[in-house]
């Protein structure tokens, strides 16, 4: 790593020390071995506590504040790894050799160029669209550009589907959970290339499509931003890393070694996080044997919401609304009395300090100081004062602490990104987790199909329309 980035590594190492002060990661006895389905769990509203599948991709321990990708601690990956290496790790399960990493990087670089998708984006009303809407439609355009799914002679082969009808399980019985039916289609048949297909078109579920999505969702986000702001779309630079090229394609400036390093860390931090809402959305779509592009598109759509990735944009608006560190106490009191959710705080899983916020806070502070901008400094001071207020008031009892979205926007702003790009940047990184988990899930696919508890009436007598009494408004 570049000499100038040592300070950044130290920040991460210190964050790790703070996180593990007095505790470490201790493997639990018989940790996650030999799962026997069905598993018992207590399910709350919003599927809280529900266990949907097994995975070896990543582990989040919310009470301890641990985040692990394929066995590796997030702090170590941030301190010593790169986004490309982490993507390889998430996809293949082990850290690459130098040769494997170089070849993987070459594959990603080759896939940065998306002329067909950019052509289609130019016809899309980008200026009137939210940046996440552009990113979502862009994943569809990538599907068109990269796969043969829309070719006239491509017909999915469904003949090998086993006719185990979900609704033949009486809904009033508790599902037994045995592997009583194999719901899978024969994937190789289902995704068979039609004859005479261009060699650049990929299988919609293979390795190439995973790489395509990791690499070119970044290009879509960058092209979308350039077109939205009436700027020339910048061609990817094959000499640059994924992180540096992303900054370059969006801002038009080649980053310094420190900026590149920070971008790499922010990409690593956002790459995967259990089956959060967007990952689950993409798994649900993939489980129907739709395709990985549609699945990733649905991940983008789910990530957009303010309770999920969309919170990072809202955090900046909230800090601007507060206006100064002196206003924090009154603002917080009012927000609580109005029962407002404070953006960038709280988490379904973390009931301890989010390890990602532990890294992002110091990175934000570092960049704010380096920028010398009084505006940045003020925003950061408001953020620190708000963190203090929330943790004092809600930390102990409600276990509410800053989450990944609280400081990320300040980091993005200091790197030169507009507020509209905060959530797309989250997606650019999270796509690695989506595709890794989709690929893993499809190995033993079973369609996701939970149930509801019906609380409506039964036995209502049908009344023809002309006999229904009109309600007077």
Q: Which residues are catalytic?
A: 347, 405
- Candidate residues 105, 226, 347, 358; the one interacting with ligand CMC per rule CB under 6 A: 347
| Piece of 152-160, 206-214, 346-354, 409-417 that binds ligand CMC (CB under 6 A) | 346-354
Q: Answer yes or no whether residue 333 interacts with ligand CMC by CB under 6 A.
A: no
Q: How far is the CB of 347 from ligand CMC (least distance, A)?
A: 5
Residue 471 is encoded by which pair of tokens?
């309600």
How far does Cα 418 stand from its chain's mean position?
19
Residues 250-289 that bind ligand CMC (CB under 6 A): 276
Distances from the Cα of 439 to the Cα of 88, 179, 296, 334, 447, angstroms = 13, 20, 12, 46, 14
- List alpha helices for 311-373, DSSP H: 311-322, 328-337, 355-371
Side-chain-side CA neighbours of 254 within 13 Å: the count stands at: 8
Residues 365-424 that bind ligand CMC (CB under 6 A): 398, 400, 403-405
Distances from the Cα of 278 to the Cα of 292, 295, 309, 331, 425, angstroms = 13, 10, 9, 31, 14
Is-cis flag, bond preceding 38, omega within 30? yes
How many residues touch ligand CMC under the rule CB under 6 A: the total is 19
Q: Answer yes or no whether residue 58 interacts with ligand CMC by CB under 6 A.
A: no
C-beta closer to ligand CMC: residue 82 or 403: 403
C-beta closer to ligand CMC: residue 236 or 346: 346
| Eight-class DSSP state of 395 | I
CB 65 within 8 A of CB 354: yes
Q: Answer yes or no whether residue 44 interacts with ligand CMC by CB under 6 A.
A: no
Q: How far is the CB of 343 from ligand CMC (least distance, A)?
A: 5
Neighbours of 359 (CB within 10 A): 28
Residues near 385 by Cβ (< 8 Å), separated by ≥ 6? 325, 328
| Piece of 87-95, 118-126, 317-325, 338-346 that binds ligand CMC (CB under 6 A) | 338-346
Residue nearest to ligand CMC (CB): 346
Q: How far is the CB of 119 from ligand CMC (least distance, A)?
A: 32
| Piece of 104-112, 210-218, 303-311, 377-385 that binds ligand CMC (CB under 6 A) | 303-311
- Rounding to the nearest 10 degrees, give the CA dihedral for residues 97, 100, 101, 106: 160
Residue 113 is encoded by which pair of tokens?
């160029």
C-beta closer to ligand CMC: residue 404 or 438: 404
Q: How far is the CB of 251 from ligand CMC (least distance, A)?
A: 24
Residues near 343 by Cβ (< 8 Å), separated by ≥ 6? 306, 311, 314, 315, 318, 405, 406
Q: Answer yes or no whether residue 346 interacts with ligand CMC by CB under 6 A.
A: yes
How far does Cα 297 stand from its chain's mean position?
11
C-beta closer to ligand CMC: residue 132 or 244: 132
Q: Answer yes or no whether residue 361 interacts with ligand CMC by CB under 6 A.
A: no
C-beta closer to ligand CMC: residue 275 or 311: 311
Residues 98-157 that bind ligand CMC (CB under 6 A): none
Q: Answer yes or no whether residue 49 interacts with ligand CMC by CB under 6 A.
A: no
Q: How far is the CB of 9 from ligand CMC (least distance, A)?
A: 25
C-alpha–C-alpha distance, residues 143 and 427, integer Å: 17
C-beta closer to ligand CMC: residue 376 or 403: 403
C-alpha–C-alpha distance, residues 53 and 71, integer Å: 18
Closest by CA position to 350, among listed 385, 306, 395: 395
Q: How far is the CB of 289 from ligand CMC (least distance, A)?
A: 27
C-beta closer to ligand CMC: residue 204 or 346: 346
C-alpha–C-alpha distance, residues 297 and 281, integer Å: 9
C-beta closer to ligand CMC: residue 389 or 405: 405
| Piece of 18-26, 136-144, 154-162, 304-312 that binds ligand CMC (CB under 6 A) | 304-312
- Candidate residues 244, 266, 342, 415; the one interacting with ligand CMC per rule CB under 6 A: 342
Q: Answer yes or no whether residue 309 interacts with ligand CMC by CB under 6 A.
A: yes
Q: Answer yes or no whether residue 307 interacts with ligand CMC by CB under 6 A.
A: yes
Q: Which residue has tokens 């067909």?
A: 116
Residue 83 is encoded by which pair of tokens?
């986004």
Q: How far is the CB of 447 from ligand CMC (least distance, A)?
A: 25
Q: How far is the CB of 283 from ligand CMC (least distance, A)?
A: 15
C-alpha–C-alpha distance, residues 408 and 357, integer Å: 8
Q: Answer yes or no whether residue 428 interacts with ligand CMC by CB under 6 A.
A: no
Is 153 exposed, middle or buried, given 0-12, 13-18 or 19+ CB atoms closer than 10 A?
exposed
Binding site for ligand CMC (CB under 6 A): 46, 276, 307-309, 311, 341-348, 398, 400, 403-405
């Amino acid at each position: 790593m570049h000499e100038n980035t040592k300070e950044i590594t130290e920040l991460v190492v210190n964050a790790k020390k703070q996180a593990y002060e007095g505790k470490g990661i201790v493997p639990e006895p018989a940790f996650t071995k030999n799962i026997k389905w069905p598993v018992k769990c207590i399910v709350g509203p919003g599927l809280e506590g529900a266990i949907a599948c097994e995975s070896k991709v990543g582990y989040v321990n919310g009470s301890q504040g641990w985040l692990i990708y394929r066995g590796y601690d997030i702090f170590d990956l941030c301190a010593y790894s790169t986004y490309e290496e982490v993507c390889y790790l998430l996809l293949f399960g082990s850290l690459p050799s130098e040769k494997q990493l170089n070849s993987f990087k070459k594959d990603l670089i080759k896939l940065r160029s998306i002329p067909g998708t950019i052509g289609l984006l130019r016809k899309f009303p980008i200026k009137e669209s939210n940046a996440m809407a552009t990113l979502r439609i862009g994943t569809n355009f990538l599907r068109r550009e990269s796969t043969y799914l829309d070719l006239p002679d491509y017909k999915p082969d469904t003949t090998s589907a086993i006719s185990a009808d979900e609704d033949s399980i009486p809904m009033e019985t508790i599902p037994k959970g045995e592997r009583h039916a194999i719901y899978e289609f024969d994937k190789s048949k289902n995704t068979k290339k039609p004859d005479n297909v261009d060699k650049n078109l990929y299988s919609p579920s293979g390795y190439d499509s995973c790489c395509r999505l990791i690499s070119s969702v970044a290009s879509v986000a960058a092209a979308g931003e350039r077109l939205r702001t009436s700027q020339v779309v910048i061609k990817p630079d094959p000499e640059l890393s994924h992180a540096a090229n992303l900054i370059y394609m969006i801002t038009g400036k080649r980053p310094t070694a420190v900026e590149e390093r920070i971008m790499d860390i922010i990409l690593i931090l956002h790459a995967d996080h259990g089956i959060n809402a967007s990952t689950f959305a993409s798994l649900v779509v993939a489980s129907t044997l739709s395709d990985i592009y549609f699945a990733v598109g649905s991940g983008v759509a789910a990530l957009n919401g303010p309770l999920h990735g969309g919170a990072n944009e809202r955090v900046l608006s909230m800090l601007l609304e507060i206006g100064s560190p002196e206003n924090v106490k009154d603002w917080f009191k009012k927000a609580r009395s109005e029962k407002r959710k404070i953006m960038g705080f709280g988490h379904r899983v973390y009931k301890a300090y989010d390890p990602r916020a532990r890294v992002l806070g110091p990175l934000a502070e570092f960049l704010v100081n380096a920028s010398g901008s009084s505006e940045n400094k003020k925003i950061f001071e408001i953020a620190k004062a708000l963190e203090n207020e929330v943790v004092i008031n809600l930390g102990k009892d409600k276990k509410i602490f800053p989450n990944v979205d609280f400081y990320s926007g300040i980091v993005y702003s200091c790197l030169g990104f507009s507020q509209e790009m905060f959530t797309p940047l989250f997606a650019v990184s999270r796509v690695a987790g989506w595709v890794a988990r989709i690929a893993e899930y499809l190995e033993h696919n079973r369609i996701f199909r939970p149930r509801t508890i019906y609380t409506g009436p039964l036995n209502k007598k049908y009344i023809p329309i002309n006999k229904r009494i009109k309600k007077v408004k």
